[in-house]
Amino acid sequence: MAVWAFVPAAGSGVRMGVMTPKQYLMLHNRPLLWWTLDRLSCQPEVTGVMVGISADDSHWSDLKWHSGKMIGTVNGGDDRARTVLNGVEKLLEVGESEDWVLVHDAVRPCVTNNDISRLIAEVVASECRGGLLGAPIADTIKQVSKHRVRTTVDRSQLWRALTPQLFPLGLLHQALSNAIKEGVAITDEASAVERVGFPPLMVEGRSDNIKITHLGDLQLAEVILASQESVDRSEEDR
């Protein structure tokens, strides 16, 4: 069973309001993308890693990330779904339609190898044609319009969709192509696969697998990475 990892890293980071794309902002003296790629390449089940980068990316060559698992880059698209579709098309040139692809946001450097292993094991053992890491919503959720609360939403069935998300290459290719052709806005792989009739498996992951969206998230990610390292060290010492 081959499991490929694809990292969409072609965003411009406009929401963060800085000139450097957020995947290249520094985290513990290394670019954020370096940490993300390091986690994926250390994952024993992963066969190879491919990265989607923007055609005008001037930072990639300075990243200095080396791994025997790196199989190449692909040009990003106008949105995340198109970047992932480009990656899936390229991976289908080296892999088979039934191979798995783990799609993981470049801007989630705190994902743990343990969570990735559980996602792979639980999806493969299930009858589902794919799955994703997620976390149940802990806060009370309000529906708001023009800064007025319209209603309080029942959160009992609501989860946050995280990444990685794991699907067979062929199915993901069909689902993303279909959504793009029909002009449907897709913000994760699972929603494309749901549309073509395959409910993904939701696997509970750690809620500290945060997506770096605002500058303040970088400090939080530094604390999370440091705490994960100290837990790893104390487990090694035991």
Q: Which residues pair with 131 in a beta bridge?
A: 166, 201
The CB-of-186 to ligand C5P minimum distance in angstroms stands at: 11
Instruction: Indicate whether 11 belongs to the interface with ligand C5P (CB under 6 A).
Output: yes
Quick one: 8 or 31, whose CB is closer to ligand C5P?
8
Quick one: 105 or 189, whose CB is closer to ligand C5P?
105
| Member of 45, 79, 194, 208 binding ligand C5P (CB under 6 A) | 79
The C-alpha angle 108, 191, 193, rounded to 5 degrees, equals 110
Q: How far apart are CA 73 and CA 84, in angstroms?
A: 12
Instruction: Indicate whether 109 belongs to the interface with ligand C5P (CB under 6 A).
Output: no
Q: In the structure encoding, which two tokens stand for residue 202, read together?
A: 């939701």
Quick one: 115 or 217, whose CB is closer to ligand C5P?
217
Q: How far apart are CA 106 and CA 24, in angstroms?
A: 9
**Side chain identity at 120, as an amino acid letter?**
I
C-alpha dihedral sign at 91, 11, 105, 36: positive
Q: In the structure encoding, which two tokens stand for residue 179, read together?
A: 């959504």
The CB-of-131 to ligand C5P minimum distance in angstroms stands at: 19
The C-alpha angle 129, 187, 60, rounded to 5 degrees, equals 100
The CB-of-229 to ligand C5P minimum distance in angstroms stands at: 23
Instruction: State the binding string over 140-179 for ligand C5P (x if CB under 6 A, else -).
Output: ----------------------------------------
Instruction: Indicate whether 194 belongs to the interface with ligand C5P (CB under 6 A).
Output: no
Instruction: Indicate whether 77 belongs to the interface with ligand C5P (CB under 6 A).
Output: yes
Quick one: 11 or 130, whose CB is closer to ligand C5P?
11
C-alpha dihedral sign at 158, 161, 166, 167: positive
| Member of 8, 48, 95, 134 binding ligand C5P (CB under 6 A) | 8
The CB-of-14 to ligand C5P minimum distance in angstroms stands at: 8
Instruction: Indicate whether 87 belongs to the interface with ligand C5P (CB under 6 A).
Output: no
Cis peptide before 44 (omega within 30 of 0): no
Q: How far apart are CA 1 and CA 62, in angstroms?
A: 33
Check: CB of residue 153 under 8 Å from CB of residue 222: no
206's torsion region: left (phi>0), alpha (psi -120 to 50) or beta? beta
| Member of 83, 165, 191, 209 binding ligand C5P (CB under 6 A) | 83
Instruction: Indicate whether 9 belongs to the interface with ligand C5P (CB under 6 A).
Output: yes
Quick one: 43 or 165, whose CB is closer to ligand C5P?
165
Residues that bind ligand C5P (CB under 6 A): 8-11, 23, 52, 76-80, 83, 105-107
